[in-house]
Each structure stands twice: as structure tokens, then as C-alpha cells.
Amino acid sequence: MGHETDDVFVSELVSIASDALGIPASEIPIGASFQNGLGVDSLGMMEIVLAVESRFQVRIPETEIGRFADGSITDAAAYVRAKRRLREGD
């Protein structure tokens, strides 16, 4: 289930999920959804969202949290990358 990646966004998101779930990063599949694949509940999702916002200096609107929860770590990495590009473009 381990993952080899040089994508800093994916690596950081795995670390955040690992901390929130209390499981080793090597056991977190990057293609599994937070909610259905990793079993993150709404409180855990809020913890992850707050950590992502803090780590990457992005804002995830409340209306987007459900979509974020339904997505995978790779989806979240793409989302954060896009948010950062938008912010840096301002």
C-alpha cells in the first residue's frame, strides 16, 4: 500500500492524514477517498482541512469540504496545487 512519489503536495497530505488518523503514512493509499476509503469522519475531516489550510496557506471553503472528503489524497493534492497557483497569480 506504500507510495513512492516526489510530489511534495501528496507527501504532505499523506503526513497530515497519517497524523489525523493515527496510522503510519506507509499504510495510507493515496488513491483512496478520505471518507469512504480511509474512513475519515466529519470531525477528522475538519482536522485534516484545518491542517491543510495551515500547512499550504490556502482556504478551503465550507462548501468544498464535502467534495474534498469524497476525493483522494491525489485529488486533494491537485486541488491544493490549483488553489496555490490561483493565489500566487494574484
pLDDT digits (tens, 9 = 90+) for 7-39: 899 999 999 999 999 999 999 999 999 999 999
pTM here is 0.85
Beta bridge partners of 33: 72
Q: How far apart are the first and last CA of the chain?
A: 38
